[in-house]
Amino acid sequence: MTVLSEVPPEEIDCDICIVGTGPAGIALTLECERLGLKVLALESGGKSEGRLPKSEAEILSPTHHAPLRTTTRSAFGGTSWGWSGLCTRFDDIDFEEREYVPESGWPFPHSELARHYERAASILNCRMDHVLPIDEAWRGLDGVELDNRLYTSQQPRLGESHWDHFAKSKAITVCLNTAVVGLDLSADGRKVEAIVVNSGNRAITLRPPRVALAGGGLRTAQLLLATQRHWPDHFGGVDGVLGRNYMGHLTGWISSIRFNNRADAAYFKPIEVDGAKSVQRRFSLKRDAQLSERLHNIVLWAGARALYDPTHANGLLSAAYLALALPGIGSLFLSRPLRRASLGPKPRHYMPHVLNLARAPVQTVLGAVWAVGGKVRAQQAIGELLQQDDSLEYLLTYHAEAAPNRESRVTLGEGTDSFGLPRMRIDLRFSDTDIASTVRAHEVLDRALRKTGKARLEYLDPPEGRAARVLEQATDGYHQLGLTRMGTDPRQSIVDPDCRVHGLANLFIASGSVFPTSGQGNPTLLTAALAIRLAGHVARRNSRD
């Protein structure tokens, strides 16, 4: 039986200490266990969901970065407590060097991680064996292709689904409420000699043979930046690459997609599998189109019903539209960018929505009672109600790559956080190139759709206003990529291709923070695959020692 302790013993027999029990930490722990290693897993929180204090970090760009108490969880299962469960495969081009994307190119091809997808999906409780056929009528889009690489975890709260296994394992020791607050390096600075943890309101020094940081991108960068204060020549040197190139993704709506018949519209709706919304056809740009147009990678799909379109003839949807249009009231339900998108392009016409209410008063009242009665939250209610089978028009959701940007970064500021580490200063930025690429990708798709005669895009703004809408909606902080980037040059990267920190023989990082580029997809599946690959490297090193 595994020891589940809030205060770890100072001497504990393990092959590796894994800091963090989020998706990456769980994947790394389970794979290390499978390969015969003994694991000490440290979690700063308790068994169930915990949120961080509001003052945990200074966010310099609150428009573009969500609060840490929203993006980060301190509990067994980590960020999976707030995870949507989305799993998606990346593309080969995401790993390639592209001369128009600064700092692009991974030190190995996509196939190195793609072979671990199946194992990663299993750990994430996600089935990826649902393949939707692509109709021949949709195969001839110029520069555009369809894919169905978006899947959903059946049990996204990994702390709940994996707790029993961790508790019963003879190879895993879990220590809760145990935060790592320091790395002590050897006298020559070439290995981690000990880690300092805060547990039970006292400092304890542990001396594991190997350490893997899997506590999320921001926390990992924070710990290394704090260590760098004592070792200024490490991690590329002060004001080097550590904490820079902070990336997320751009997402939102700048257009709707209008289909010319209901069969085509239904073709792009999510497919229910085993009671979970698991598979959906999406649009992506072909590799050649990306290169010739010098575009970042992006995926786009028919998302929420176009609320502003009165032809839905739904009294409740029109009631929601009119409520959002009321000054001072609509902002109570949706953020300003989402509210603007939901209200659609100007000029706005309200009378057809009033007529929809008059035509179906009973439906409107019953629906309002259902929504307000607490069965779903306000934003969920709108999302659920917008999925109507007979719609021809949907808001076109995009998820776009943000390129590395040295000025998008995390540094350390004044004071300490709740764990006793120097407080972070977070400055997440999106570049003009990120914005322009997102807009131009829509233009490529619109041309291809109009050529088929099957659909077209309807923009929410005139051409001069589209970039501003993309920037307004550009908010992340959940994906936390690029802060400890991977590469072969210690001056330009933090970890080597094996995810070992340059210059330190026994320190590894299992996190999306090592991604050199952000790609088009939600990073959870790829991060878990990276952790599985890292476990293999650790096991081989362990067998040699």
Condensed to tens digits (0 to 9), the pLDDT of residues 280-316 reads 889 999 999 999 999 999 999 998 766 777 766 677 7
Question: Is 106 part of a structural domain of the chain?
Answer: no
What mean pLDDT is predicted for residues 193-218? 92
Using alpha carbons, list the distances in angstroms from residue 88 to 129, 132, 476, 519, 524: 12, 15, 18, 11, 8
Residue 413: the pLDDT is 93
**Does residue 274 register a pLDDT over 80?**
no
Cα R_g (the chain), whole angstroms: 24
- Give pLDDT tens digits for 45-59: 998 877 776 668 999
Residue 378: the pLDDT is 43
Residue type, 40: L
418 and 359 within one domain: no
**Which element (helix H / strand E) includes 18?**
strand 16-19
Residue 453's CB: how many other CB atoms inside 10 A? Answer: 8
Q: How many CA atoms lie within 13 A of 337 on its CB side?
A: 17
Nearest CA to 421 out of 210, 197, 190 is that of 197
CATH number at residue 19: 3.50.50.60
- Rounded to whole angstroms, the Cα distance separating 407 from 74 reads 28
Question: Is 390 part of a structural domain of the chain?
Answer: yes
- Rounded to whole angstroms, the Cα distance separating 267 from 270 reads 9
- Rounded to whole angstroms, the Cα distance separating 274 from 389 reads 20
**Which element (helix H / strand E) includes 406?**
none
- Give pLDDT tens digits for 319-370: 777 777 777 655 555 666 666 667 777 778 778 777 877 776 655 555 554 4
Q: Which residue has the higher pLDDT, 139 or 163?
A: 163
Question: Is 136 part of a structural domain of the chain?
Answer: no
439 and 414 within one domain: no
Residue 330: the pLDDT is 54
Nearest CA to 393 out of 457, 316, 313 is that of 457
275 and 227 within one domain: no
Residue 313: the pLDDT is 67
Question: Is 138 part of a structural domain of the chain?
Answer: no
Nearest CA to 399 out of 543, 300, 479, 263 is that of 300
- 3-state DSSP call for residue 301? strand
What mean pLDDT is predicted for residues 122-149? 87
220 and 231 within one domain: yes
- Give pLDDT tens digits for 428-473: 999 999 999 999 999 999 999 999 999 999 998 999 999 999 999 9
Mark 244-259 as b/e (b = at least 16 C-beta within 10 Å): bbbbbbbbbbbbbbbb
325 and 191 within one domain: no
Cα dihedral sign, 151-485-430-416: positive
79 pLDDT band, cuts 50/70/90, is very high
Nearest CA to 385 out of 324, 442, 443, 328 is that of 324
13 and 70 within one domain: yes
Question: Is 118 part of a structural domain of the chain?
Answer: no
441 and 329 within one domain: yes
* Entry pTM: 0.87
Q: Which residues contact 320 (CB under 8 A, 6 or more apart)?
A: 307, 382, 385
306 and 209 within one domain: no
Cα dihedral sign, 494-55-417-52: negative
Q: How many domains does the chain have?
A: 2
Question: Is 98 part of a structural domain of the chain?
Answer: no
| Domain of residue 339, residue span | 249-402+435-473
**Which element (helix H / strand E) includes 65?**
none
167 and 30 within one domain: yes
Q: Which residue has the higher pLDDT, 131 or 79?
A: 79
Question: Is 126 part of a structural domain of the chain?
Answer: no
Identify whether the C-beta of residue 260 lies closer than 8 Å to the C-beta of residue 356: no
State both tokens at 524.
Answer: 């959870």
Residue 246: the pLDDT is 98
308 and 412 within one domain: no
Share of the chain above pLDDT 90, in %: 63
Q: Which residues contact 378 (CB under 8 A, 6 or more apart)?
A: 332, 333, 334, 371
**Which element (helix H / strand E) includes 416?**
strand 409-416
- Give pLDDT tens digits for 109-130: 999 999 999 999 999 999 887 7
253 and 205 within one domain: no
- Rounded to whole angstroms, the Cα distance separating 320 from 379 reads 11
Share of the chain above pLDDT 70, in %: 86
What mean pLDDT is predicted for residues 510-537? 97
Question: Is 88 part of a structural domain of the chain?
Answer: no
Please, what is the angle between helix 315-325 and helix 351-359, to 10°? 140
316 and 184 within one domain: no
Please, what is the angle between helix 23-34 and helix 524-544, to 10°? 40
- Rounded to whole angstroms, the Cα distance separating 327 from 490 reads 54
Residue 440: the pLDDT is 98
